Homo-oligomer: A and B are copies of this chain.
Amino acid sequence: MILEVADIRIRPGQQAQFEEAAHRGLSTVIAKARGFRGYKVQHSIESADRYLLLLEWETLEDHTVGFRGSPAMAEWRGLVAAFFAQPPFTEHFKLVALPGTS
């Protein structure tokens, strides 16, 4: 399992509209993508315009190849890109297991 973290800054004052659009896109467009396992939308307490989208994918390629190479990518961006104050910063993460566990 891979965690995609999209660090997003939106235009000021558009929180409610962005949250609605993000949830709609995540629960309709992205939810249908192969390998997609779930998501959380996290809103910064200190930075009102900052969100972290935490998305779980079965494999890295399910996101970077499968989703990004599909028409769903444009559909998703069509829903949310207008709210972005700057391009999101996205990286992928692997859970580090506790020593002695797997």
Q: In the assembly, what is the distance between CA of A70 and CA of B81, in Å?
A: 42
Residues of B within 8 A of A44 (CB): 91-93
Residues of A at under 8 Å CB distance from B?
Answer: 2-3, 5, 19-20, 23, 27, 40-47, 50-52, 60, 91-96, 98-99
16 interchain pairs (CB within 8 A)?
Answer: A3-B42, A5-B52, A19-B96, A20-B99, A23-B96, A40-B95, A41-B95, A41-B96, A42-B93, A43-B93, A43-B95, A43-B96, A44-B93, A45-B92, A46-B91, A50-B91
Main secondary structure of the interface of A (DSSP, over half): strand
Residues of B within 8 A of A45 (CB): 2, 60, 91-94
